[in-house]
Amino acid sequence: MATTTMNHFNSAMLVFGLLATLSLDFTVGEIGVCYGRNGNNLLSPRQVVDLYKRHNIRRMRTYDPDNAILDALRGSGIELNVVITNQYIQRIAADANAANDWVRDHVLNFPDVDLKYISVGNEVSPADGATSRYAQFVLPAMRNIYRAVCRAGRAGRTKITTTIGMNALGNSFPPEDGAFRDDVAPYLRPILSFMVGTDAPFMANIYPYFAYIYNKKQIDLGYALLEPDHGIQVNGVYYDNLFYAMVDAVYAAVERMIGPSLQTTGNTYNQTSEQKARRGRKTPKVVVTETGHPSAGGDSANMHNAKTYNQNLADVVDEGTPRHPEPIETYIFALFDENEKPGAETERNFGVFYPDGQPKYDMNFN
């Protein structure tokens, strides 16, 4: 996740409840949790997997392919969404053997881990000074990893994608007019063509909290916290909450860029005829790879608001947005408060659990 404030339409969290009193079901709402490890007081990977199981969390996102995590996930039934760190992208882009080695070390050596997604980079953007140097390598690295995954016999089972932040959009309101920035669109167009050709999802980090903080005069806090009865009408469409509006803005930007040309000329790679037919009539699914609300450290960052946002999020992701009324696969940032995470103080306070595994607050997901 980006560490500067302007890049913080990204970071997230959710809440799962007290062990003895709550019954949590993450299968309906498509909820996963991001497992960040920028802390010196966190549980071991094996203890973390036990924590996921105990709270029935069936999806995990990690920011590096650490073998200790992969080993702990063996046979767990937890779906994994792993990021290839930005610093490693150039090497994979330049050398197909590096991609083959990566897949061997982190996929083939762990056949009993349900690796669902590989995100090549996190929030890389040519318009972001902190990540722009990696932008030219993202698509070549995606191609090399995809080919290595196909050679490993995992085509269709493990999808190759990348992840953007909301700062990649030049316009996000009204949602139907969502569009990528002019200086980002040339970078994303061939990447989207790859996603269309391989039936991969489009991943985005979406934070109503930061949208609210930067636009408090225009955005109601209840709307940003996904509270009932705080929705707004936008060009005749009722948006219950800001999360829905932001997801639909991403969908609109993707659909606007794809258009008929990418649907008919995108590389089909090794697709079946059925996949090719589907490619012509369906844009990539948007997966929300980070979202959440800090419980301390900044404006409107407190336990009450964090609990409110995450509880409401668990309710709304099952319904889908006005433009796309199907469950939204969503990952909460983050599992723990991370005391060594750089950036603003809020960055260290997105956890759902304390570092010892105790819930920060109780939640009722029934």
Burial class (CB in 10 A: 0-12, 13-18, 19+), 275: middle
Beta strand pairing status for 59-62 and 79-84? parallel
Residues 184, 192 contacting (CB under 8 angstroms): no
Q: Which of 267, 276, 60 is nearest to 146 (CA)?
A: 267
Per DSSP, 42 falls in state P
Helix residue ranges, H only, the chain: 45-54, 67-73, 86-94, 96-103, 135-151, 185-198, 208-214, 221-224, 242-265, 273-279, 303-316
Q: What single DSSP character describes residue 336? A: B
Residue 189 has φ and ψ, to the nearest 5°, of -60, -55
289's enclosing H/E stretch is strand 286-290
Active site residues: 123, 290
